Chains A and B, each alone.
Chain A
């Protein structure tokens, strides 16, 4: 053996030694909104990831069920966290009761199909394959079995984070949030087990746009929580199958955005960030002021009409310098503070409106001020915005209903047997407008009031 060969052999030795001796560990998988703990290692390892594909019926919205195809029994599937340079040993099992084969395409893997062909798994079988995570970043994984659109539309996606060698900057809290949309044969809110509408999927007309797999998955008891003065990181994914998300947190500004899930801060001080279908983003921000912060897709009818809303509840002491809250509410005179006369010199006569006219006016107010949340026909969004149609809560107590409009409402209420825990803002309407809209709502949508609500009743209810 020549000297050069020996040197070469010695040079190669440590590399093969490291690969042979790589420590083996099992990945900690977490379900949204939880995030696996940060990787503490300063060296690569072989990380075993075990996942099972399960087809199951679950809740899409209150009263609405859907046959989800899942990784690990949940939508989105479990989050995986590894370190740049790790080798992932992936075991994908397909439950024996499954009707169809499944596989996984991990965008974090480099190689044909991202593992898709290697992991195609018949029901009742397990496939093994491995890949080295060369590029750090936040990646989507999804099922890529034909027909791909159907497997993704049914819920088969999740996130895998590949931490850079030197880790991510420390934060106080991390959340895993994934947006996706569902295409059902029945329209939004239509009850029962809803089958997939491939036609709507192809036309990209979803009935539901949701965070973490169902309407209300981040609302009420499931709201994510933090304290003031904490640094928050959100791992955001978009499973699609088709829509791009304009992700926004109402009342917050992202201090740092790692655009498209890459490892560089691509922009600072961002209001709304795009998350591509089959892509991701990481955002960090500091919580300053307590309160409820609403997560939305700012393609806003998706949020208020199709379900893409969530709540980050921040507890702590108010900081009035950062945010004062409402200090006062005074009358606004466009013409200035002093009393002026109309150019014609004669004030218009007050005309008593007929009940029909008042109801017509009430309808206009409903459509401009109420319908965005309570929906056409007052049907609401199950679990998010309570219905006004045939509403026991609305009809039980007129004074309470009036105050809900004039003073706002927050906290848990039960409407037609369903719990709601959300916020209704104060609506700045005149007493006449409140009377008109209350009359309209109580005499329509299947509610059976016969009497008009008078201005006097509004004034009295407000003062109680």
Chain B
């Protein structure tokens, strides 16, 4: 590795978002036929990656700038609301970065020596039956998300905005897609673990509609670190 790269990584690491510990637990997947998963304790970023964070990343990794990224890795809407390669939208440095593909989100986390959280990790960290109303309110409020990070609520782990701000990429977003494709028709809704868990249902629906190069206006990400 050459010197400038090391330098940049160090610089980014020093300002990276705080990591919050998430206690171990069990995740019950959406599809009945998938076994329960034990999730080891891990750490997750306190809030989603912001435009400011992302600017530092593309400064140090030019191949992920908007004009450089190939379509294979990010569709035409990549960083759509940025003015140019190095100019995030006005006065939105602390808004979550959105319109980012899985490939680039994944590269960002690795760049920092982390990973995207897995579905099991994300769902465990975000499991929050009591928040159902806020969750559904956000899902059903039309339009583009336009709020700062840390503007909704922090959960029991001290992690912010898991519901009510943006969608977030997970490492294995397509892991349940084959099951999900079947679940579109009523007949196979019987294959789901909890048909009344509408909030989880919606997230599975969204994940299965995505490909790794897709970018979505209301979708960003955060990183996780295994212990």
Contact = CB atoms under 8 A, between A and B. Distances in A.
A188 B219 CA distance: 35
A113 B185 contact: yes
Interface residues of B, number: 39
A376 interface: no
A123 B216 contact: yes
A56 interface: yes
A146 B184 contact: yes
Interface string B197-211: 010011011101111
A73 to B, nearest CB: 11
Nearest to B188: A146
A124 interface: yes
B225 interface: no
B140 interface: yes
A51 interface: no
Contact of A146 (B138, B141, B189, B214): B189
Nearest to B203: A100
Contacts of B186: 148
Contacts of B217: 96-97, 123-124
B173 to A, nearest CB: 11
Interface of A: 54-57, 67, 96-101, 103, 105, 113, 116-117, 120-125, 144-148, 150, 154, 195-196, 198, 202
A96 B77 contact: yes
Contacts of A55: 140, 142-143
A122 B98 CA distance: 14
A232 B175 CA distance: 53
A74 to B, nearest CB: 14
Contacts of A147: 189, 195, 198, 201-202, 205
B189 A148 contact: yes
Contacts of B209: 101, 103, 120-122, 125, 145
A120 B184 contact: yes
Given A97-B142, A147-B198, A198-B198, A125 B184 contact: no
A19 B183 CA distance: 34
Contacts of A99: 138-142, 167, 218
Contacts of B143: 55, 97
A270 B216 CA distance: 51
Given A97-B144, A147-B205, A117 B139 contact: no
B180 to A, nearest CB: 7
B212 to A, nearest CB: 12
Contact of A124 (B184, B195, B216): B216
